[in-house]
Amino acid sequence: MSSGKKMWSAALLATAVLAVTAACGSGGSGGETADGKIKLRFSYWGSDARQKMTEEAIKKFEAKNPTIDVEGEFSDFASYYETLSTKVAGNDAPDVITLEIRGLREYADRGTLADLASKVNTADIDAKVLSTGAIDGKQFAIPTGVNAFSLIVNPAAVESSGAKLPDDTSWTWDDFVQFASKITSGSGGKQIGTQLSWNPAYLQIYAAQKGEPFYNGNKLGLSPQTVKDWWGIMQNLIKTKGAPEAAKSSEIGATSIDQSLLGTNTGAMGMWWSNQLGAAAKASGQNLELLRMPKVQGASTGGMFLQPAMFYTASSKSAHAAEAAKFIDFMVNDPEAGQIILSDRGLPASSKVLAAVRDKLPDADKKTLDFLDKTRGEMSDPPAAPPKGASAMEDILTRYSEEVMFGRMTPDDAAQKFITEANASIAG
């Protein structure tokens, strides 16, 4: 009898232990740590270098706020959003969340984010840039820093091919194609003129030059003709050998900037966000420059625009909303945080922080800053956060662009299908 009882209790105990450990695994969020400090969770993505900087900034914040313990939740970009959405789904959202503009409404429109108006000091941030983080009058997101989508060029490669750098204040898309093809032919194919980009920001700039917005509320504002004309530029580039043939282009398009033509010194140009200048320069070991995007003949605007590199947001379910706001305020406004982070999250959005760190910036970033200062007057207003579903836009655009480049779809057909699918994606 007694041995049976022992077995019973042993088995019960085993079950109980398992249940308790399982419960421990999922719990423990948003609480207090053992020593009574408030625990704040901060999620972000990026490189090892960014993680080191961020940890350093967190230490500084903790030194100033001894009652708060910030725990960085770091992952690479490729898996960032899946991890984040899974955490949100499991009612386990981090208190402070880093987001990009294209994903902002996915989260904001679903009630995931808290209104940060008057909780974070935004006096030193350009009002137009700040407004990109506001939706329906609520300031859900604070920009970390700004970028402009522009053309990066390697002047030495251009020169050695016998071509001449253009006057970028007045050049047209035809000039651009001719320039690229001249680089390829002049260098005997050692330097390809440019690689192709299917970034929606590129199409957005082109459309603005034609007087069309990319998004018009919850629909695309693009006309099929604009999309077709835009593809025409790339088709011409391939035809004149200013860009690699379609298969190679799609292969390069799937790699990072280190593996780009520019980064591997096999091409002279490429289009990226301006904060990529440093990475491209490092990969190529060359002295690179930023250029204005070419224009449509007779366009009244260059169409380029400033866009926040990232946003800091706070979870609407956070048990420590005040502390979360305090941390964001520190990251955005405190010059000491700025000294550590420098331009890693775009050139600082706060003019005060920017002034404080200006001289400490690496050369590439100084160049970016000069370029942005030079072009600021010509820039269009920063576009508002795109509608929900816009995260998929780059994939959709890339897919139809490739169909056209490979000649598997006519531009007419592809433009029509692209607009239909894009509209379906952002309507929901």
CB nearer to another protein: give 22 or 355.
22
Minimum CB separation of residue 43 from another protein in Å reads: 14
| Spatial distance between the Cα atoms of 335 and 325, rounded to a whole number of angstroms | 17
Q: Which stretch binds another protein (CB under 8 A): 114-122, 140-148, 209-217, 388-396?
A: 388-396
Report if residue 251 touches another protein, rule: CB under 8 A. Answer: yes
Contact 99, 80 (CB under 8 A): no
Selected binder of another protein within 10, 322, 355, 427 (CB under 8 A)? 10
Length reported for the chain: 428
CB nearer to another protein: give 97 or 349.
97
Report if residue 289 touches another protein, rule: CB under 8 A. Answer: no
Residue 222 CA from chain centroid, whole number: 22
The amino acid occupying position 230 is: W
Q: Which stretch binds another protein (CB under 8 A): 209-217, 240-248, 292-300, 347-355?
A: 240-248
Q: Which stretch binds another protein (CB under 8 A): 79-87, 131-139, 141-149, 161-169?
A: 79-87
| Spatial distance between the Cα atoms of 220 and 387, rounded to a whole number of angstroms | 10
Selected binder of another protein within 78, 137, 188, 359 (CB under 8 A)? 78
Report if residue 248 touches another protein, rule: CB under 8 A. Answer: yes
Minimum CB separation of residue 29 from another protein in Å reads: 17
Tell me the HSE value of 402 on the side-chain side, using a 13 A CA sphere: 15
Minimum CB separation of residue 20 from another protein in Å reads: 12
Q: Which of 391, 386, 348, 379 is nearest to 128 (CA)?
A: 379
In whole angstroms, how far apart are CA 328 and each of 44, 130, 367? 13, 14, 27
Contact 45, 75 (CB under 8 A): yes
Q: Which stretch binds another protein (CB under 8 A): 189-197, 270-278, 330-338, 385-393?
A: 385-393
Q: Which of 287, 289, 292 is nearest to 303 (CA)?
A: 292
CB nearer to another protein: give 193 or 294.
193
Token pair recorded at residue 217: 């509320």
CB nearer to another protein: give 46 or 294.
46
Helix (H) or strand (E) holding 297: none
Selected binder of another protein within 2, 4, 27, 137 (CB under 8 A)? 4
Residue 251 CB neighbour total at 10 angstroms: 11
Report if residue 89 touches another protein, rule: CB under 8 A. Answer: yes
Residue 361's SS3 state is coil
| Spatial distance between the Cα atoms of 167 and 373, rounded to a whole number of angstroms | 18
Selected binder of another protein within 125, 402, 411, 419 (CB under 8 A)? 402
Q: Which of 106, 108, 103, 99 is nearest to 137 (CA)?
A: 108
Report if residue 19 touches another protein, rule: CB under 8 A. Answer: yes
Report if residue 236 touches another protein, rule: CB under 8 A. Answer: no
Query: 134-135 and 347-348: which strand pairing?
Result: unpaired
Selected binder of another protein within 189, 392, 410, 427 (CB under 8 A)? 392
Report if residue 249 touches another protein, rule: CB under 8 A. Answer: yes
Residues 6+ apart with CB under 8 A from 118: none
Q: Per-residue contact track with another protein, 93 to 132, x per CB under 8 A?
A: -------------xx--xxx--------------------
Contact 257, 47 (CB under 8 A): no
Minimum CB separation of residue 305 from another protein in Å reads: 25
Name the site residues for another protein (rule: CB under 8 A): 4, 7-8, 10-12, 14-15, 18-19, 22, 78, 81-82, 85-86, 88-89, 106-107, 110-112, 244-252, 254-255, 389, 391-392, 395, 398-399, 402-403, 406, 408, 425
